Structure formats: C-alpha cells, structure tokens
Amino acid sequence: MKVYGRYINLICLSIYSVLSFAQSTLNNVIDEVVWVVGDDAILKSEIEKNRLQFGSSLTGNPYCVIPEQLAIQKLFIHQAVIDSVEVADADVNSYVEQEVNEKILLAGSKEKLEEYMQMTMTQIREEFFDQFKNELIMRRMREKLTEDVKATPAEVRRYYKDLSEDSLPLIPTQVEVQILVQQPRVHPEEIERVKSTLREYTERVNSGTTSFSTLARLYSEDTASARQGGEMPYMGRGELDPGFANVAFSLTDPTKVSKIAQSEFGFHIIQLIDKRGDKIKCRHILKRPEIQQEDIDTAMAHLDSIANHIRREIVTFDEAVTVVSDDKDTRNNHGILSNTRANELTGERETTTRFEMGELSALSPELARVISTMEVGEISKPFTMVNSKGKTVCAIAKLKNRINSHKANMAEDFQTLKAAVESEKKQKVILDWIKEKQRTTYIRINPDWRDCEFQYPGWIK
C-alpha cells in the first residue's frame, strides 16, 4: 500500500536527526509569503521545511524546485475541489498508519520517534495526514485528467518506427510459468495444538498477566506485524482474508480478544484498536500448524505421479491444474502466474504473465531455482516452496515460455510500447493543463524568488 512517487525513504536515525534539525531551524525562520497561487500563499517556512526534510532527493536549486512543486500541488488541489474529486479520510489514514509504523520501527519506539521529531504522536499523524491527503488528491486528479487517453495501434507503430535503434529499450530475459500446487495434509491433532496455544494466549491477556502486544512480539508468525506488537494498518473488509475479516469486523470492545479466526494464512486471535468509517485497525497473533515430513512426502509422491501423466500426455498440465491444484489464485488461470509491476518505460503499474528472473526469485526463491535450469515445455520434478501466505506447499512447475533478452519490437512487446505512447500522451495532457492554469490563475512571486529555471515556464507574467 505504498503511494507511488513518494519522496525518498531516508535511512534509520538519520531521518530523525534531519527532522529534528529542521524543526529547530524552522523555529528561527522569519516567515514571509514568497509565492501566491490563486487564493493560496506559499510561505518561506513551508519551503524551508521541505528543503530540510526532502532536499537531498531533489535535483536543482531547492528554492526553485520546491515552491514550483508546491504551486503545482495547489493548482491540482484547487481543480479537485471544482471537480469534486475527493479522498476518504480512511484511505489517507491507511497510508498514515503505515508510515507511522515504519518510522516507529526505525526509531525503536514511539517515545524515541516523538523525541527525534519533537512532536507528539498526534502531531506526527496530523503532519503525515496532510502530506498523504494532498498526494492522493493530486494522483486522483491526474488520473481524472488523463482517464480517456489511449494509444491506437497506428500511433504505436509510428512511435516504434520513429525510434532509432539505439533508443529502443532493452527488454531483459523473461519467463512465463505455470504451477500446480498441493497443500500437504495437516493433522487434526496439530490444528488443535495451535488452537490450544491461542486459547492460552487469550487467557493470559484476559487475566492481565501479559499484554496482547507482548505476546504478538514474542510468538506471532506474522513477522511484519509482530515487530509492531501485532498492529496492522487501517484496512477495509475487501483487503483482508474473508475468514479474518468476518471476525475482526465483528469486534466492538478493544479490551476483548476475539474468538479464533481461520484464514488462508493460518489461525489468529485478534484485538480491536479502532474503527474509522469502513476501515478497521487491529492487532493479531498468527500461528500456523506444523506439517509433518511424512505428509510432505505423500504430497510429493502424488505430484510425481501427476507429472509423469503429463509427460506421457495422458493429461495436459492445464487440465491437471484445474482438477487437483490447491492454489485458488492460479487454478482458474491454468496455473499461469501473474506479475504486477511498474513498467520500466512509464513507471505505471501493469499486470503481465512475464517475470524477470529477479522478480520470480522475489516471489519464490525455490520456484526461481527450479525454473532457471528448465527448458521451455519441460515439467519439473516435485519441490517444496513457501507460498505467498507463508505456508509450505508442494508443487510442480512448467516453463511455458522464455523470452530472451532483446531490443523491444512490435511482435513481442506491443503492450510495453503502447504503454510508453500512452505515458507520453498523458504527460502532454498534464503539461497543457498546467500551462492553461498558469495563464488563467493569479500568480505572484516575490522578486527575490524569481531568478529560477522552472520546469514549467509561465509562472512569471
């Protein structure tokens, strides 16, 4: 749930030393209005704050770049008001809580974060809220302005024809992979052991012996939230596993611990923290049943038999996936893995069936190792891997296709080239829109702040 185009992530305590220095410096700034855009003023203190906090990620004179960015932001936000483009507070709060949790993790505790930033947690949240709300409004306004921009096949062909050989992007080697997954049997006795452990945790919380947060840090198998005492960001029902959501959204008392919830990730107990609109913030403890080696061996033997049937053409890989795969995310797509990533040419998100080997390794190192030695059309031997839910599963894979590294071409990379054309067209729409707003909006810049090479000429009239 990252905001695209966010400022550079600064590292560990250096973030907070910079912010602390920024706060002390701002206390000594003699404020003045340096820009006026429409009815909105841009203050010297506002620019100084951005310079100290984000200046290292900017190219060019920060006293030119920052006020121009703030001016553009004000143009978009003003237009958003006119067009009734809004963002829900609950959506903003999701980003705020994620940012706050990351900062707490880097600082070591809430108290240390408050010390470094010289603010209370309430003030920190308010600061992030305004930042993320403006970013979300700008993004949605840009999307609204460019929502009808499309590239025709003729435009893509013309774009490709006009590119020189040296300008053609290099497309790295990519693979398309099918996978058939079997979940080893979990013994009822092991499930009962996990539930008994969670019931014990519940009793310890209810008796006041141990806090929920402490138990989560010590024992939860969701390592990401465990570091935060089990805390999760604000999330909507649709963002959560249905089994988890049904229990979490039924909670009304923050002092109580939920009944045991079962999800695709395992078994949970949950404690409510807050509800805001259609979003919920809670903490949880996750425990997964352990799988016995004999059950892994049984699943592997079953998969070996299926793989042999496929090789002997008794059944196709597609048919076998539909009948026996336990992975619902790929079962209805013939086992084909999908990859959502940022397009290197446009920066926009796209969903594709192609993976670079690094991307496949990030998804599953075990799967990447298997695929790296296979020929196109080959069926792998059974192997174990950890799936996206953190569970150990058994699988066989088929290398459906390998596209070797090459210069982009119309036959293999039409969608990539189409995205590049659409990106250029969208950039022109935004540029033309900004030029028009510069022409029709009242803008005044303090004479001491005019000696700049702006990205968008037209501010000074």
Topology at the third CATH level for domain 188-287: Chitinase A; domain 3 (3.10.50)
**pLDDT in the model for residue 343:** 63
User: What are 279's strand-pairing partners?
Assistant: 236, 276
Predicted local distance difference test score (pLDDT) of residue 408: 92
25-74 pLDDT, tens per residue? 444 556 899 999 999 999 999 999 888 877 667 788 999 999 999 999 99
Task: Tell me the average pLDDT of the chain.
Answer: 88
Answer for the pair 201, 211: CB distance below 8 angstroms, yes or no: no
Specify the pTM: 0.67
Lowest mean pLDDT among 22-31, 120-129, 360-369: 22-31
* 265 in Cβ contact with 286 (< 8 Å): yes
Q: Residue 280 has what pLDDT?
A: 92
**Rounded distance, CA 396 to CA 300, Å?**
9
The answer to whether the beta carbons of residues 417 and 156 sit under 8 Å apart is yes
| Residue 3, pLDDT score | 35
CATH of the structural domain 173-185+292-404, one choice from 3.10.50.40, 3.90.1720.10, 3.40.50.2000, 1.10.1740.10: 3.10.50.40
Query: Structure tokens of 158?
Result: 């013309």
Per-domain boundaries in the chain: 12-149+427-449, 173-185+292-404, 188-287
pLDDT tens digits for range 260-300: 999 999 999 999 999 988 889 999 999 999 999 999 999 99
pLDDT of residue 14: 42
Environment class of 385 (CB within 10 Å of its CB; exposed 0-12, middle 13-18, buried 19+): buried
Q: What is the SS3 assignment for 133? A: helix
CA–CA distance from 143 to each of 132, 255, 425, 430 (Å)?
Answer: 16, 42, 13, 10
Q: What is the DSSP string of 50-119?
A: HHHHHGGG--S-HHHHHHHHHHHHHHHHHHHHHTT----HHHHHHHHHHHHHHHHHHHSSHHHHHHHHTS
- Quote the CA–CA distance of 107 and 111 in Å, as a whole number: 9
269: buried, middle or exposed (CB in 10 Å: 19+, 13-18, 0-12)? buried
Q: What is the pLDDT of residue 107?
A: 82
Chain segment 370-397, per-residue pLDDT in tens: 999 999 999 999 999 999 888 999 999 9
Mean pLDDT on 200-215: 95
Write the pLDDT tens digit of every residue in 237-255: 988 999 999 999 999 999 9
- Check pLDDT > 80 for residue 301: yes
Q: What is the pLDDT of residue 17?
A: 44
Rounded to whole angstroms, the Cα distance separating 86 from 40 reads 19
Burial 393-402 (b: 16+ CB within 10 A, else e): bbbbbbbbee
Q: What are phi and psi of 376, to 5 degrees?
A: -60, 130
Token look-up 């939230």 returns 225
Split at pLDDT 50, 70, 90, the class of 348 is low
Q: Return phi, psi of residue 402, to 5°.
A: -130, 125
In this predicted structure, the answer to whether residue 22 has a pLDDT above a threshold of 90 is no
Higher pLDDT, 10 or 448: 448
| Three-state DSSP class for residue 35 | strand
Count Cβ atoms below 10 Å from residue 304 Cβ, excluding itself.
14
Residue 234 and residue 222 in contact, taking contact as beta carbons nearer than 8 Å: no
What's the pLDDT band for 347 if we cut at 50, 70, 90? low
For residue 1, what pLDDT is reported? 36
Please state, in angstroms and rounded to a whole number, the distance separating the CA atoms of residues 15 and 403.
42
pLDDT band at 108 (very low <50, low <70, confident <90, very high): confident
Q: HSE of 407 in the Cβ direction (CA atoms, 13 Å)?
A: 7
Smallest Cα–Cα separation from 441: which of 141, 139, 76, 83? 76
pLDDT band at 349 (very low <50, low <70, confident <90, very high): confident
User: Do the domains at 12-149+427-449 and 188-287 have one common CATH topology?
Assistant: no
Note the maximum CA span of the chain. 81
Q: Are 41 and 30 in contact (CB under 8 A)?
A: no
As a whole-number percent, the residues of the chain with pLDDT over 90 amount to: 68
Q: In terms of Cα–Cα distance, which of 452, 361, 388, 30 is closest to 177? A: 361
**Domain 12-149+427-449 belongs to what architecture?**
Orthogonal Bundle (1.10)
Task: Please name every residue paired with 236 in a beta bridge, in sequence order, or none if there are none.
Answer: 279
Task: Give the Cα separation of 67 and 39 in Å (integer).
Answer: 15
Average of pLDDT values for 409-419?
89
| DSSP 8-state assignment for residue 147 | T
Residue 86: closest CA among 134, 16, 38: 134
pLDDT at 12 over 50: no
Higher per-residue pLDDT: 20 or 358:
358
By percentage, how much of the chain surpasses pLDDT 70?
92
Residue type, 272: L
Look at residue 427 and tell me whether its pLDDT is greater than 60: yes
Among 28, 286, 332, 298, residue whose Cα is nearest residue 184 = 298
What DSSP letter does each residue of 389-429 carry, written as one string?
TS-EEEEEEEEEEEE-SEE--HHHHHHHHHHHHHHHHHHHH
